[in-house]
Amino acid sequence: MGLSWPGRRGRLRRSFHGAQAETEAEFLEIVTGPCAGVDIGEDTRYVAAGPDWCSDPVQADSTRSGAVGKDGPPDAIQVWRTLMRSDKGELINCRHSRPSFKIGALRGNMLLCIDAGNTNSVFAIWDGTSFLGTWRASTEHQRTADQYFVWLSTLMEAQGLTDVEVDEVVISSTVPRVVFNLRVLCNSYFNCRPLVVGKPECRLPVPSRVEAGVTPGPDRLANAAATFDRHGGDAIVVDFGTATNFDVVAHDGAYVGGVIAPGVNLSLEALHAGAAALPHVDITRPARVIGTNTVACIQSGVYWGYSGLIEGIVARVKAEYGQDMKVIGTGGLAPLFAQGDIRFDSIDDDLTIYGLVVIHRFSKDRA
């Protein structure tokens, strides 16, 4: 992951955020901060530690490939010039509070985030600054720990993440029956005890404020934590999933309640199952409100019907809350409904999974 180039004349390309560097100045801007590492090839590596660079103590031969740093830690400019002399190299985005060096596995402190929803489960690897990869699978409580591992390791290998070593795991599940096998996965293959959102050992940045004895869904707690971290408080999260959830986040980041409506696809399936003459259709934004065939009529009813539902609920929540609120959309259908009349302040595709990162970080710091 990160910056890579085929040779001396190649362009440096960063695999996320679209950053590119072809000059020394651009390189220095990209690597500023404590979260960059350099793999020059020939078993020679460097890792940024704050403003300083330290050479890899296990490099096979510090004099090969024109490597610098054999007389002391190189600075970023020396690293850049060495890379430009090298035939092969890679700038790896990673973060190490205490760097652990290993040939073929420069990354460390990897967090596996698992969000098991009613329909799909999302797995994502967080390296301390960004997600290295995100994968989805249908949620099935019969799936064993071995099946999870084979599926996940195969996808990670296909994405070139064979050197990633998972250190910790955080789980959110709205399907209690899948948690056991996910715990077995963590114990058997990652040698760790997972943090499960909603369990007593999991601490929230701000406790929810709902009726006594009520435990909000872990996905809603994750949405609240992520929203406050990225967008601040006084917000409504519209989460398009199996159900369409409206999560209200207070000024201090607490989850204070919300609304649950049937999900878009669930409504389509119910309509198809309950009316023999009506076909199953895919949801899309119709060009016209008035449909001229059965499919167009269903699409219009679902799309504009749900648009009206969302606008109406958001307006009523704001009125009851008593002040203006940001509206954040997440879930697979959020971009589609943003094309209509709904005014989202932001579309955040990975809001729930990022919320697990926030909760894990807080809970770990308070352990």
Q: Tell me the catalytic residues.
A: 219
How many angstroms separate the Cα of 243 from the Cα of each of 121, 313, 354?
15, 14, 20
Indicate the burial class of 88 (C-beta count within 10 angstroms; 0-12, 13-18, 19 or more).
middle
Nearest CA to 124 out of 104, 110, 109 is that of: 110
Residue type, 174: T
Half-sphere exposure of 68 (CA within 13 A, CB side): 18
Residue 232, phi-psi category: left (phi > 0), alpha (psi -120 to 50), beta (remainder): left
Euclidean distance between CA atoms 303 and 319, whole angstroms = 24
Whether the Cβ atoms of residue 126 and residue 183 lie closer than 8 Å to each other: no
What is the b/e burial string over 17-35, where b = at least 16 CB atoms within 10 angstroms of the residue's CB? Answer: eeeebeeeeebeebbeeeb
Say which DSSP state 324 is in: -
CA-angle at 272, arms to 271 and 276, nearest 5°: 110
Residues 6+ away with beta carbon under 8 Å from 155:
133, 135
Tokens standing for 324? 């203006």
Euclidean distance between CA atoms 173 and 330, whole angstroms = 17
Euclidean distance between CA atoms 36 and 76, whole angstroms = 10
DSSP string, 100-141: ---TT----SEEEEEEE-SSEEEEEEE-SSSEEEEEEEE--T
Residues 6+ away with beta carbon under 8 Å from 277:
none
